[in-house]
Structure 1
């Protein structure tokens, strides 16, 4: 690098002829089975690409200080420049990869090296510490702190290595569990300390990617990805911008962050690619195939852009579809109103999702009890579909509101394809409170599984808009939609202090009571984007 730091880099060559290179810059050990790049390389080199895989600064075999989401712009530029000077390079570079190694692609876009011709960011976003900040980077609205993300920084961004420890999150103050771990390690995570201190560092020493020179982008989105809301925000924003709009492509699968598929959920022997090599080989074909087709167009020019669909998306429990845009032009918004609120705190089916708002004032209340927090469906949302948990026990709690719709008519499934939002009129006895919302599929056997989710922190009574992200999902005949509303989601999110105290350091968080209003004057509603019914 320009400052003399050496970054450990592997080069997989297809042959002796100079070729386009695909660069991957990641912090997860380039030679580990977790990122499986020896097997990925077989697929890239077979298609005529040099694959270049690098440990980012401060991780594993690379030198330099360990601090994520900083320094990637310059290091991306310098690595691309180095590639173009090698005898195996024809001077054309693309980039590929998931999560943090999607972020390093956006950093290279900011660097604006002329050799960078196309990127394929998967399950990622342009934001700094995505989902971890105290404010939504898209709207600027306060949001509950993603404890799972802060925990990731504490384990993975200490130094070059990764550390495995189990913080005891039952104690107060909650920060003490991490201080105990850092004391045992004899070192600490700078990134974690920044999050706890509410300090956000600028990720780019240059323009935001939205304002950089456009390059062709294939957005690979997972409908069950915990970064899916932020990734779709990137796609939607760039699709609106002149220059960028012409080179935006989208492929969206019913998959989570770790590439587990809805059709295989929950993972079993023979379908778990983390443990089964045959399952890994099958997964890698789907993982690399769209990227290779994209690079054939924009790096090698052996096919025209017209050969690629602008949008290809999976309708979960159904099939793949193509479209000229997202949401599909034939999709339409529809609204369901929260009604029968007096039954919402009872067990399922609770209140109703109705076609019209209630004519008379209705309300429902739920309590926030810091000594009896609503449990997260899974402690690891990166692998949500590996276990595909049944959330019925949570929906039946008396401190959770649930509203259910009518069953999909036999032979006429409901296909969702686009954004999902809720508007809730809420007030609280606390000066600050959190709202967690989940849209679930209620099956005929009574089990309930996630479709989309979202959250907001509120500090005043009134309407609260919550973005639940985008989805492609089929509600099959006999199944029903269920909307779940809760005041906590632990341990995925840091519990609210219920006061102006720092939630990391409070020893006495305050309980509170939240009240939802649902009627024509203060309507609370669910907005869906649906495809026309077939037939």
Structure 2
């Protein structure tokens, strides 16, 4: 399919019985659900090892014949008839689906020991088998959810269970171990640099001292108990803006009095540790067996791996029907905020027009096709990729990602040796540097790191707000190298994976290099589009860390940024390079030692080289 602007979004037929519940109060939604559904609560579904998982089952009242089922698993407190889960059930039941929501093992009323993603290869598989055997089931199950409720679906898709007919993973990046160019191990890393969001998230979710109900209770008793008790831990509030600075990183949670748990297991792992392959993450060697409708976001924590996995699923061909039926929708919203796609949308400091999209209608059209065999609901002509291009502020569609019309345009980092800050002489040019062009130098002090402002992130206790925020505050720093084009004489659309190559040196044994892509408006506002980072010790691969030698020039290739943005006429394209992006990423203390167990850092004097023999550059996927 050619690269086209979508002037009208895909219109789907919604059954008359599927009402618009968006304006219902919580009480009205609960009443509607009671009228339309039969409910079984805290049903303990047995797994192969005997562990019971707490499950709520909603079925259309008075339904005739076998039902298609939508299954959602969660580590969160959603089984106690919470408004969010009730609304999700109401949407499904009103459209003729059974809806099941289940707590992962070790969470709330589910038995067993908690593990991130809840053993998707076994618990997920066993749950699909259980649903398919129920007398009210038509044998077809679709999985649905955002964030944690999406991530467990990925490894399950590699199992190709016969009942797993379709899946809708939304914002699912933390379920990806290694795929293609990305080896981020569930977003624990970017370019070998640990991200801090999971430290905050694990404090809230991991609860090794959790209370549990005694065994042997009948369902009616468990259900009654759940009406009055939610088994939800009430941990002390933490000032994460301060706690995230704690050194060493490895004792950040124990410093709060937390007992050893998942954090202590993960913080000692390198990106190549074999332990990552023994959990619930999806790795590229697993194959792919389920048609999928992916919902992703430009300002989410993991847009690069998400789109890499989408492409991998399309190419896997371990199940040809599954690979042929992969569809992606990418909006300008933050993590899981697909309901925010409405007129007057603003991301950070940037107004982005009207990205309205009927997410619910699209999801149920997709499920109608694969769970109800309604081919007209979600036709084969549906574009495989629909994405919102910022700047243009319009939905576009294509048969592939990046768009088939995209062609790489290389822009070189250039300067007279003083690209430091906004007042420096850094330029971004299409002409390669000449021999002898002076390098750019800056001092990186880990005790005075460059602050994170916007970009893609989530789930971090408020230490970073994701979105298109103005970067001029940090561009004023001397330890940030700034390279900018002249004002564009015509618009330029950049849609796809953005690659960068840096030629660097340092007097430290190890340090980090961070890269940022920015759209600069005529008034100077510098909107972040994406960022990436790489740890120098991993320049030859995660399995081969090595210290640097002073004066030696090395090649660094950060993992790609991923975006869709039209740089309008009069705008400028900017690339920033520095050595920290904190608190989003853990600071490199520059010692070359076990960074996460160290408390004292050293100052690094870092160099970005750009001459004829050692060009530093960025490759932009330009769509004409």
For normalisation by structure 1, the TM-score amounts to: 0.87
Following superposition, the deviation at residue 515 of structure 1 comes to 0.5
1:50-199 aligned within 5 A:
50-69=98-117, 71-125=119-173, 127=175, 136=184, 143-159=192-208, 161=232, 163=235, 164-167=237-240, 168-181=243-256, 183=257, 185=258, 187-188=259-260, 190-198=261-269
Is 1:393 matched with 2:473?
yes
Following superposition, the deviation at residue 330 of structure 1 comes to 1.6
Stretch deviating more after TM superposition (307-316 or 256-265): 256-265
Following superposition, the deviation at residue 211 of structure 1 comes to 3.3
Following superposition, the deviation at residue 385 of structure 1 comes to 6.7
Which deviations, in whole Å up to 9, do the C-alpha atoms of 1:48-96 show, x marking residues without a partner? 2222111111123322112214522111012112212333321110111
- Flag the 1:490–1:322 CA change in 2: closer, same or farther, 3 A: same
Pick aligned residue for 1:443 from 498, 518, 521: 521
| Cα distance between partner residues in 2 of 1:135 and 1:499 | 24
- Flag the 1:156–1:238 CA change in 2: closer, same or farther, 3 A: same
5+ residue gaps in structure 2? 1-46, 211-231, 538-547
| Cα distance between partner residues in 1 of 2:441 and 2:596 | 27
Which deviations, in whole Å up to 9, do the C-alpha atoms of 1:439-496 show, x marking residues without a partner? 0121222222211111111134411112333211122333222111111111111111
Stretch deviating more after TM superposition (374-383 or 142-151): 374-383
For normalisation by structure 2, the TM-score amounts to: 0.75
Count residues with an aligned counterpart. Answer: 510
Following superposition, the deviation at residue 31 of structure 1 comes to 4.6
Pick aligned residue for 2:89 from 41, 44, 52: 41
Following superposition, the deviation at residue 209 of structure 1 comes to 6.3
Following superposition, the deviation at residue 42 of structure 1 comes to 2.7
Q: What's the counterpart of residue 530 of structure 1? A: 622
| Cα distance between partner residues in 2 of 1:486 and 1:78 | 48
Q: What's the counterpart of residue 289 of structure 2? A: 214
Native 8 Å contact 2:250 2:596 kept in 1: yes
| Cα distance between partner residues in 2 of 1:261 and 1:489 | 28
Q: What's the counterpart of residue 452 of structure 2? A: 376
RMSD: 3.1
5+ residue gaps in structure 1? 272-281
- Flag the 1:320–1:234 CA change in 2: closer, same or farther, 3 A: same
Following superposition, the deviation at residue 315 of structure 1 comes to 0.8
1:256-275 aligned within 5 A:
256-259=334-337, 264-266=345-347
| Cα distance between partner residues in 1 of 2:191 and 2:51 | 38
Which deviations, in whole Å up to 9, do the C-alpha atoms of 1:212-250 show, x marking residues without a partner? 352212222211111111111211222333335422222
Native 8 Å contact 2:411 2:431 kept in 1: yes
Q: What's the counterpart of residue 515 of structure 1? A: 607
Is 1:433 matched with 2:433?
no
1:235-314 aligned within 5 A:
235-242=310-317, 243=320, 245-259=323-337, 264-266=345-347, 286-304=358-376, 305-314=379-388
SS of 1:240's equivalent? helix
Native 8 Å contact 2:155 2:281 kept in 1: no
| Cα distance between partner residues in 2 of 1:441 and 1:60 | 45
- Flag the 1:503–1:266 CA change in 2: closer, same or farther, 3 A: same
| Cα distance between partner residues in 2 of 1:297 and 1:348 | 57
Which runs of at least 4 in structure 1 moved beyond 3 Å after TM superposition?
A: 31-35, 125-131, 134-138, 159-164, 169-172, 174-177, 203-213, 260-263, 383-388
